[in-house]
Structure 1
Amino acid sequence: MKNDHKSDFRISSIERLKFYSQFSKYYRNKIIVKNLKKFIEEKDGKNILLYIPMNMEVNVTPLLNELRKLKNKEVYVPFMQGDSFKIVKYRLPLNKKKFGIKEPNNSFCRPKKIDIAIIPVVGIDAIGKRIGFGKGMYDRFFDRLNYQPTMVFTQLILCKSDKILSNNYDIQADYIITT
């Protein structure tokens, strides 16, 4: 029963995000990226996990490009591998892969530790746990780490359920940045 509610919530959240991504996306992206940049500066994050955005996600590309130019920051993104992903340094060119997601080429340059992980969400449940696209890649990745970075969820608009839809393995945000 919980999975039916989770699936229904995921579908309705994706529809809301698609709608908003067509209309007020530019303005919302600017606000969120500005707040993410401020957050990274305040927390003095050195090794940062970001993501290469899909259409309905917050467009963090300007932040990716700005951070990669800084000498005191290292920027990493997911590289899909099996049922999860590994993190690779953000480099151009990007190649379109499974699920239409763009990725840099595979690399062996990994940080010892990620300070801040910025993670896109489809929605969150009543206790702040992530509802994603249903593949569980982020959940598996963070479950396999032997430490917990500061986790920041991003979303163009807040899609929050008033019910607990998550499973015990779903990741939870330390912070949520949205408009």
Structure 2
Amino acid sequence: MKNDHKSDFRKSSIKRLEFTSLFLKYYKNKIIVKKLEDFIKRSDSKNILLYIPLGIEVDVKPLIKNLRKTKSKNVYVPFMQGESFKIVKYRLPLHKKRFGIKEPNNSFFKARKIDLAIVPIVGIDKLGKRIGFGKGMYDRFFDKLDYKPTIVFTQLVLCKSEKILSDNYDIQANYIITN
């Protein structure tokens, strides 16, 4: 029953995000990226996990570009592997993979521990736990870590359920940044 509610919430949140006008998306992206930049400066994080955005997610590409210019910051992104992902250093060129997700080439370089993870969401439930696209990749990734980085959820328009939709393995953020 809970999974039906979660699936319905996911679908309605995706619809809501898809229908955010282009002008509003542009404006909201600018605000959220600025908030993320300020947060990163205050947190003094060195190793940062970001993501390569899909259309309904906060466009963090300008943030990635700015962070890469900073020698004291390392930018990592997910590289899908099976049911989860590993982190690889962000570098060009990007290739389109499963689910339309772009990612850099695989890397055999062992990534450092990440200090900060900026994670896109489809929505959150009453407990503030992440509702994503339903594949569980982020949940599996964070479950495998033997440490806990600071997690920040991002979303263009906050989609929050008044019900508990999450399972106990769903991740929770330290912070949520939206417009």
Structure-2-length-normalised TM-score = 0.98
Give the match for residue 119 of structure 2. 119
CA RMSD of aligned residues (A): 0.8
1 CA distance for matches of 2:175 and 2:12? Answer: 23
Secondary structure, aligned partner of 1:20: coil
1 CA distance for matches of 2:80 and 2:29? Answer: 25
Contact persistence 1:77–1:87 (CA under 8 A): yes
Residue 69 of structure 1 deviates from its aligned partner by 1.3
Contact persistence 1:21–1:55 (CA under 8 A): no
**Percent of counterpart pairs with the same letter?**
74
Could you tell me which runs of 5 or more consecutive residues in structure 2 were left unpaired when the two chains were aligned.
none
Residue 140 of structure 1 deviates from its aligned partner by 0.2
Give the match for residue 83 of structure 2. 83
Give the match for residue 54 of structure 1. 54
Partner AA of 1:161 in structure 2: S
Give the match for residue 128 of structure 2. 128
Matched ranges for 1:80-159 at <5 A = 80-159=80-159
Residue 23 of structure 1 deviates from its aligned partner by 4.3
Residue 21 of structure 1 deviates from its aligned partner by 5.2
Could you tell me which runs of 5 or more consecutive residues in structure 1 were left unpaired when the two chains were aligned.
none
May I ask how many residue pairs the two structures share in their alignment? 179
1 CA distance for matches of 2:39 and 2:114? Answer: 15
Structure-1-length-normalised TM-score = 0.98
2 CA distance for matches of 1:61 and 1:21? Answer: 19
